[in-house]
């Protein structure tokens, strides 16, 4: 086990709670000690939700450790069932409570005898999977539970809708721009003449899951959550699925063509080529921007991309294929799905990094010195220290990445948002450069610590003052080159003489 002060994907129970709180009228009971119950605060702050987060903590304390927690957990489940009348209560342990090795299946069976709603145990291995894997598994488990229940009760509806329809699987609370993406996907499907049968889990009711087989196909916009559910529905109900993320002009068109192929196989006479051409030329500004002088000025600029599989792979292809920007490194923290990521970005970047160690990606950014970074909030912090502009494209995210205004990343409106993000990320750096040339309000102090702990070297007052005179847009590079020179010669302090020697060594 490794101690980390930043985590890209949280523990398994966070994924289960994200799915549970995304459904309507579903309540989660979290069997956990105090300290594991930060989900309520996090969701309330980030989502700005008007309703209370439907999660209750059944606290593991010293009394529980002495007597066992069965009575307490069962009482909490039946109490919430009586107070709020949810359709489903999900019991989820955490890594900490799992150490107790209690028979939670028995707790659920006992509670089900008294509860009027359904009670389900989140069946995930909290030691082996992370937040994203647990969310994917929990969603599949809930869908499977209700479809099998409908089979037993004879209420399962497998009659296809008269017109083409789709289930959108995967959008959840705390997802990166998921609310905006849902709205954009609804509009895209409406423009294609496709009815949205259900969006699961975001805003769905578990009592309506029995109607999922009515859709003509399933769409999985995010690879991290929804894939297992789509595979289950295909294996058990012969439902085709499309897992191409419609992000960027090229991939949006490819997704629509894949949908067209699926519908034609089922007898629908559809032709979306004219729609694709119209959207590309007249609705999306990205195609026009790629031919403009502004985008040409970005050609060959160096960028680093890092995030979850879905957004990092899509952004890498957009930068390299649609904008002519050189991606010197593309990376993901989804180590469990690394092969897919490598396949997607192969040929679009110089290096591929699969790691959940934020220090490793920080060191890579410092080494490569790109003109811009596109990553998570963690890379944004790193980039600030290095003086490199950064656009946030994936979770982990901050409250600023939950905008009140409409900012989807998927579909044709998403192409416009991404174009703005890319252009503004690069041009902000250029503005700092112009301020240095013409004089301005540059008050940045010298950063004496690098990204890694072993890059901390002492600077004398004279050397620090000399470094302050270096223009800000190259100051970070000069600092790193000087420290590298000193470290190679086992010097513990950087003086003016060391600075000048380092400058001569690089031929500057």
Distance CA 281, CA 267 (A): 29
479: DSSP letter: H
d(CA 96, CA 439): 56
* Separation between Cα atoms, residue 199 and residue 133, nearest integer Å: 19
Token pair of 127, please? 């030691």
User: What is the SS3 assignment for 72?
Assistant: helix
Burial class (CB in 10 A: 0-12, 13-18, 19+), 369: middle
Among the listed residues 341, 355, 347, 348, the one whose alpha carbon sits nearest the alpha carbon of residue 312: 341
The label of the residue with tokens 């390299």 reads 320
Give the closest residue to 334 by CA, choosing from 175, 171, 131, 168.
131
**Active-site residue, 294 included:** yes
Residues in the chain: 508
The answer to whether residues 85 and 119 touch, using CB atoms and an 8 Å cutoff, is: no
Paired tokens of 20: 């549970």
Kindly give the residue spans of alpha helices, DSSP state H, lying in 291-410: 293-296, 309-317, 338-345, 358-368, 377-386
b/e per residue 234-243 (b: at least 16 CB within 10 A): eeeeebbbbb
CB-count exposure of residue 5 (10 Å: 0-12, 13-18, 19+): exposed
Q: Which of 49, 61, 294, 456 is catalytic?
A: 294
The neighbour count for residue 490, using CB atoms within 10 Å, is: 6
Give the whole-angstrom CA distance, residue 365 versus residue 386.
Answer: 9
What single string gives the DSSP state of each residue in 12-53? HHHHHHHHHHHSBTEEEEEEE-TTS-THHHHHHHHH--SSPP
The secondary structure element, H or E, covering residue 464 is helix 461-468
Q: Check if the beta carbon of residue 457 is closer than 8 Å to that of residue 492.
A: yes
Please give, one letter per residue, the 3-state secondary structure of 377-412: HHHHHHHHHHCCCEEECCCCCCHHHCCCCCCCCCHH
| Residue numbers annotated as active site | 294
């Amino acid at each position: 086990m490794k101690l980390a002060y930043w985590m890209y994907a949280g523990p398994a129970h966070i994924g289960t709670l994200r799915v549970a709180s995304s459904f309507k009228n579903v309540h989660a009971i979290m069997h956990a000690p105090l300290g594991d119950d930060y989900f309520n605060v996090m969701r309330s702050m980030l989502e700005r939700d008007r309703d209370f987060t439907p999660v209750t903590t059944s606290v593991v304390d010293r009394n529980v450790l002495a007597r066992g927690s069965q009575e307490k957990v069962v009482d909490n489940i039946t109490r919430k069932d009586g107070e709020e009348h949810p359709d489903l209560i999900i019991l989820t342990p955490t890594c900490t409570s799992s150490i107790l090795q209690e028979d939670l299946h028995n707790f659920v069976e006992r509670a089900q005898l008294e509860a009027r709603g359904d009670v389900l145990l989140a069946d995930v291995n909290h030691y082996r999977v992370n937040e994203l894997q647990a969310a994917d598994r929990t969603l599949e488990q809930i869908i499977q539970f209700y479809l099998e229940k409908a089979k037993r009760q004879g209420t399962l509806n497998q009659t296809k809708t008269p017109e083409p329809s789709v289930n959108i699987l995967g959008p959840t609370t705390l997802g990166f721009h998921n609310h905006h993406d849902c709205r954009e996907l609804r509009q895209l499907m409406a423009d294609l003449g496709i009815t949205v049968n259900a969006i699961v889990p975001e805003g769905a009711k578990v009592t309506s899951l029995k109607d999922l087989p009515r859709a003509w196909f399933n769409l999985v916009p995010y690879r991290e959550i929804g894939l297992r559910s789509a595979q289950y529905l295909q294996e058990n109900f012969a439902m085709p699925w499309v897992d191409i993320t419609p992000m960027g002009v090229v991939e949006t068109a490819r997704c629509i063509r894949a949908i067209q192929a699926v519908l034609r196989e089922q007898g629908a006479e559809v032709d979306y080529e004219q729609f694709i051409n119209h959207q590309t030329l007249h609705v999306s500004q990205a195609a026009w921007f790629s031919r403009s002088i502004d985008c040409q000025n970005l050609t060959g600029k160096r960028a680093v991309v890092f995030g979850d599989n879905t957004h990092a792979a899509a952004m890498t292809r957009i930068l390299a294929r649609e904008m002519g920007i050189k991606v010197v490194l593309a990376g993901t923290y989804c180590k469990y799905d690394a092969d897919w990521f490598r396949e997607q970005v192969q040929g679009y970047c110089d290096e591929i990094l699969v790691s959940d160690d934020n220090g490793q990606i920080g060191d890579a950014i410092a080494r490569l010195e790109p003109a811009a970074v596109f990553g998570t909030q963690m890379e944004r912090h790193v980039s600030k220290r290095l003086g490199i502009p950064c656009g946030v494209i994936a979770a982990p995210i901050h409250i600023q990445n939950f905008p009140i205004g409409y900012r989807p990343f998927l579909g044709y409106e998403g192409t416009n948002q991404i174009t703005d993000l890319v252009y503004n990320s690069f041009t902000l750096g250029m503005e700092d450069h112009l301020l240095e040339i013409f004089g301005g309000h540059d008050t940045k102090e010298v950063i004496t610590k690098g990204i890694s702990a072993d890059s901390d070297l002492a600077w004398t007052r004279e050397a620090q003052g000399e470094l302050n005179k270096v223009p800000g847009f190259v100051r970070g590079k000069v600092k790193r080159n000087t420290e590298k020179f000193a470290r190679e010669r086992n010097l513990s302090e950087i003086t003016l003489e060391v600075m000048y020697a380092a400058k001569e060594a690089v031929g500057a």
